[in-house]
Amino acid sequence: QCVHPAKRQAQLASRTAAFSTTTAPRAGSDVHITRTGKPIISVAGGRSSLGGHTVTVFGATGFLGRYIVNRLARSGNTVVVPFREEMKKRHLKVAGDLGRVVFIEMDLRNTASIEESVRHSDVVYNLIGRDYPTKNFTLEDVHVEGTERIVEAVAKYDIDRFIQVSSYNADKNSTSEFFRTKARGEEVARSIFPETTIVRPAPAFGYEDRLLNKLGTPGNLLTSNHMQERYWPVHAIDIGMALEKMLHDDTTASETYELYGPTNYSTAEIAALVDKEIFSRRRHINLPKRLWQPAAKVLNAALWWPVTSADQVEREFIDQVIDKKAKTFRDLDIEPADLKDLTFEYLRGYRSSSFYDLPPATEKEKREERQYLHVID
Ligand code: NDP
């Protein structure tokens, strides 16, 4: 087969580039060599694509986990999902072709199970986190010690990439234990595995979020700061997209990313958008912090389902601060979505059934409806 010499030279150059550097983005090439010399061969082919990577996603059973597992599995990567609870992982199985999503039972205190989860992978994501302390795990256990065990396993098996999902406002001097432990988790990860990519998402919204769902659910919402805390809410799908790009672009190693949306809102402003979208006014009750914080602590300890916690009350008094040194969506060529453009998508389920977009039925339609009912019966 005759190939034009210039075209042939370009082909050779792109092949050589793909082989000679580990930092070249994978897009457009079918072979990619990782830092440790592992060849990654990818072939596009719909649901039967071959992605080439083997990726472990800790914390895949949570809200954000599905948005990255789905992207990785559907492009043909093998995704290892460490899990604790049988029923929480089922939806992930269908994200990819048969055999692409592999489950391993894991305990955050069981080093052997963590090592078993990472040893065959070339990329590891850690999305494990908790908003509140539980009976068995403090925030320190989850964000610092848990991270330490995972990163030690990553370093032991010389995994190519480690991506740690931390949090906005991660700060060792914060008044919130959540933000403090997230910052210490980052520090531990970087000290053991310096190539760690740190991702700090802002409060995320999406179908399974704890933002729009909390504001849309009927009932009394108890707060302490009149919902005046301000942040840049981010779309869960944008976070998934960013996490996937990091897998294919080795220049993101050792970097810190702050992922936040384009608009700054207070919770009260979001609550107003929610009320407008669902044609209803949800009741918000403001309690003084000195009463609500100790009560939240007692409720968190006494009840076995998530209600709130003293630290979550504390976080109501902390606005999001963006780290100017960190990279963001712009560096990944992603245009983040704005919350106000997606409220209909995520909140229509909360509308009362007496609100629908169709005009009232005519007499003729009502008669026909009766006929259909008769036929169905
Ligand atoms: P979720 O709470 O929905 O999921 C947390 C995940 O961590 C679950 O898979 C959960 O497993 C796992 N996990 C928690 N505690 C333990 C433990 N002790 N042992 C083993 N696994 C555990 O969180 P999101 O998906 O919303 O968030 C993902 C990450 O992003 C977290 O680290 C979170 O702190 C961070 N983040 C999230 C934000 C958001 O708005 N969603 C904002 C800022 C940061 P299981 O299902 O078994 O409970």
Residue 32 has what pLDDT?
86
> Do the Cβ atoms of 178 and 203 come closer than 8 Å?
no
Average confidence score pLDDT of the chain: 90
Q: What is the pLDDT of residue 12?
A: 45
pLDDT greater at residue 192 or residue 8: 192
Rounded to whole angstroms, the Cα distance separating 240 from 87 reads: 22
R_g over Cα of the chain = 24
Confidence of residue 358 (pLDDT cuts 50, 70, 90): low
**Percentage of the chain surpassing pLDDT 90?**
80
> 48-65 pLDDT, tens per residue?
899 999 999 999 999 999
At residue 15 the predicted structure's pLDDT band, cuts being 50, 70 and 90, is very low
Query: Model ipTM?
Result: 0.99
Per-residue pLDDT band at 208 (split at 50, 70, 90):
very high
Distance CA 81, CA 73 (A): 11
Q: Region 78-105: what's the mean pLDDT?
A: 96
Least confident of 120-134, 188-202, 298-312, 349-363: 349-363
pLDDT of residue 7: 56
Least confident of 121-125, 242-246, 299-303, 356-360: 356-360
Half-sphere exposure of 325 (CA within 13 A, CB side): 3
Residue 6 is predicted with a pLDDT of 56
**Is 148's pLDDT higher than 80?**
yes
User: For the residues 104-110, what does the mean pLDDT come to?
Assistant: 98
Pairing of strands 265-266, 230-231: antiparallel
Higher pLDDT, 311 or 352: 311
The token pair that represents 186 in the structure block: 């980052």
Q: Which of 45, 69, 67, 48 is nearest to 57 (CA)?
A: 69
* Structure tokens, 374: 């008769």
**Ranges assigned E (strand) in the chain:** 31-33, 39-41, 54-58, 78-83, 101-105, 123-126, 161-165, 197-201, 204-205, 220-223, 230-231, 234-235, 256-259, 265-266, 283-286
Please tell me the least confidently modeled range out of 58-62, 180-184, 254-258, 275-279.
Answer: 275-279
Lining residues, ligand 1, CB within 6 Å: 59, 61-65, 84-85, 88, 108, 127-130, 137, 142, 165, 167-168, 201, 203-204
Checking if the pLDDT of 253 tops 80, the result is yes
Taking the centre of ligand 1 as the mean of its atom positions, its distance from the CA of residue 182, in whole angstroms, is: 12
> In angstroms, what is the span from residue 126 Cα to ligand 1's centroid?
9
Q: Which of 270, 240, 278, 282 is nearest to 340 (CA)?
A: 270
Residue type, 343: T
Per the CB < 8 A criterion, the answer to whether 203 and 231 are in contact is: yes
Report pLDDT digits (tens) over 293-331: 999 999 999 999 999 999 999 999 999 999 999 999 999
Q: Closest ligand 1 atom, CA of 168?
A: 43
As a whole number, mean pLDDT of residues 15-30 equals: 46
Angle, in degrees to the nearest 10, between helices 146-156 and 177-192: 10
Strands 39-41 and 31-33: antiparallel
Q: What distance in Å separates the CA atoms of residue 35 and residue 24, rounded to the nearest whole number? A: 11
Mean pLDDT of 119-135: 97
- Which pLDDT value is given to residue 71? 96
pLDDT at 353: 73
Task: Name the maximum alpha-carbon separation found in the chain.
Answer: 81
Residue by residue, DSSP assigns 317-352 as: T------TTSB-GGGGT--PPPGGGTHHHHHGGGS-
CB 211 within 8 A of CB 202: no
Going by pLDDT thresholds of 50, 70 and 90, the confidence category of residue 122 is: very high
Residue nearest to atom 27 of ligand 1 (CA): 64
Q: 276's torsion region: left (phi>0), alpha (psi -120 to 50) or beta?
A: alpha
Plot region of 113 (φ>0 → left; ψ -120 to 50 → alpha; else → beta): alpha
Mean pLDDT, range 232-238, rounded to an integer: 98
Instruction: Calculate how far, in angstroms, residue 127's C-alpha sits from the geometric centre of ligand 1.
Output: 6
pLDDT at 261 over 90: yes
